[in-house]
């Protein structure tokens, strides 16, 4: 059972950008789709604008929506520093009502996994459907569920290290527990650093992630008005197979 609001990971946008701020192959992937459709673009769960801002810098009309005020404020600051115009909206994309349709609607950062039950998934998909042009594309990625990994609970596993904006070296570790009934992985993450006064600080955050299986995902999209046009194993467009880390999906409105 979820005991947190699932937003703890996103209330420290400075640490988030230090850890996840670099953009990789997802940028050219979504830029390619934007050029294919011609925009305008709607990014759901845009966070600190990691992909939103570069797309706006490339001349696209971009709207970014996020539910976490701290992340959106950080995005606004970054856009202002780069003199980039983005239409930022604070809100829950399950209840989004904009008087506009888009050529491309997308979400990334595995944000699809934050919708923890069927109703949440369907509420989000219906809002996408309403805001997508008839000739538009909807794209997102979600982690490919590997049962051997999911059923192997991990505790106190060091995940990574990074240096934050203050120059502190941060060690990251955590634990994971998968519930096969809800298909939710419950994650606890710890980040530890020593500050400038020599004090060691440890911060704990929790997040729950919903996993969907390939055939389940295709059915979910179908019954919410979408056709799955392309499914890749990563943003480099490699074929999707059992060992793919992701399901990268490109959809349109079902005729």
Whether the pTM exceeds 0.85: the reply is: yes
pLDDT at 222: 98
Q: Which of 1-5, 133-137, 176-180 shows the lowest per-residue confidence on average (mean pLDDT)? A: 1-5
CB 253 within 8 A of CB 129: yes
- Rounded mean pLDDT, 114-125: 97
SS3 210: strand
3-state secondary structure 129-196: HHHEEEEEEEEEEEECCCHHHHCCCEEEEEEEEEECCCCCEEEEEEEEEEECCCCEEEEEEEEEEECC
User: Of 57, 50, 61, which Cα lies nearest the Cα of 24?
Assistant: 50
CB 19 within 8 A of CB 172: yes
How many other CB atoms sit within 10 Å of the CB of residue 225?
Answer: 18
Dump pLDDT digits (tens) for 54-67: 999 999 999 999 99
Dump pLDDT digits (tens) for 143-156: 999 888 787 766 66
Domain locations in the chain as residue ranges:
8-144+212-253, 147-210
8-144+212-253 folds as Rossmann fold (3.40.50)
Q: 217 or 14: which carries more pLDDT confidence?
A: 217
pLDDT at 151: 77
């Amino acid at each position: 059972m979820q005991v947190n609001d699932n937003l703890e990971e996103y209330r420290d946008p400075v640490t988030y950008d230090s850890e996840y701020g670099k953009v990789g192959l997802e940028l050219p992937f979504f830029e390619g789709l934007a050029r294919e459709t011609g925009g305008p673009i709607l990014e759901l769960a845009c966070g600190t604008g990691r992909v939103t801002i570069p797309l706006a810098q490339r001349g696209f009309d971009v709207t970014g929506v996020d539910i976490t005020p701290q992340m959106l404020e950080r995005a606004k600051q970054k856009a202002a520093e780069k003199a980039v115009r983005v239409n930022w909206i604070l809100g829950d994309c399950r209840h989004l009502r904009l008087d506009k349709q888009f050529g491309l609607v997308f979400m990334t950062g595995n944000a699809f996994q934050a919708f923890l039950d069927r109703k949440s998934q369907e509420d989000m998909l219906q809002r996408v459907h309403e805001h997508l042009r008839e000739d538009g594309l909807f794209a997102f990625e979600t982690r490919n569920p590997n049962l051997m990994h999911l059923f192997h609970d991990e505790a106190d596993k060091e995940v990574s290290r990074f240096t934050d904006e203050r120059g502190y070296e941060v060690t990251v570790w955590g634990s994971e527990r998968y519930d096969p009934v809800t298909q939710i992985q419950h994650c606890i993450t710890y980040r530890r650093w020593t500050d400038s006064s020599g004090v060691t600080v440890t911060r704990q955050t929790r997040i729950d992630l919903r996993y969907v299986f390939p055939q389940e995902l295709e059915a979910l999209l179908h019954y919410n008005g979408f056709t799955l046009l392309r499914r890749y194993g990563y943003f480099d467009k490699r074929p999707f197979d059992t060992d793919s880390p992701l399901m990268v999906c490109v959809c349109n409105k079902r005729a």
